[in-house]
Amino acid sequence: MTWIYDSNLYDTKFQASCRMARLEDAAMASSSKWRYISVFQTSSGRYGVKILLSQDSSESERCSK
C-alpha cells in the first residue's frame, strides 16, 4: 500500500475537504483502486489531502520477486 499526497496545501479544513470530495468523485468515475482518503493537518497549521492506494495482485507479485 502506498500513500499519495495531493500537491497543494490549503489554509482551511473546508478547502481541503472540498478537494477530497472532488478526488473521491474522480476516483469513482475512473475506477481507481484506493482504500482510504482523508484530510490531514501539517505542523504549520495548513491542511492537505492524502490517499491510501490499495495494492492489487500484480503489484504484490512485482514486489515479492
Closest CA to 27 of 11, 49, 46, 8: 49
* Alpha helices (H) along 1-65: 13-30, 57-64
Residue 65 lies in a domain: no
Residue 48 lies in a domain: yes
As a whole number of angstroms, the distance between CA 2 and CA 18 comes to 22
Residue 23 lies in a domain: yes
Helix (H, G, I), strand (E, B) or coil at 54: coil
Structural domain range at position 9: 2-56
Residue 15 lies in a domain: yes
Other Cβ atoms within 10 Å of 51 Cβ, number: 19
Residue 61 lies in a domain: no
Model confidence, pTM: 0.72
Residue 16 lies in a domain: yes
> How sure is the predictor about 56, in pLDDT bands with cuts at 50, 70 and 90?
low
Mean pLDDT, range 36-62, rounded to an integer = 80
Largest separation between any pair of C-alpha atoms in the chain: 43
Report pLDDT digits (tens) over 1-13.
788 898 899 999 9
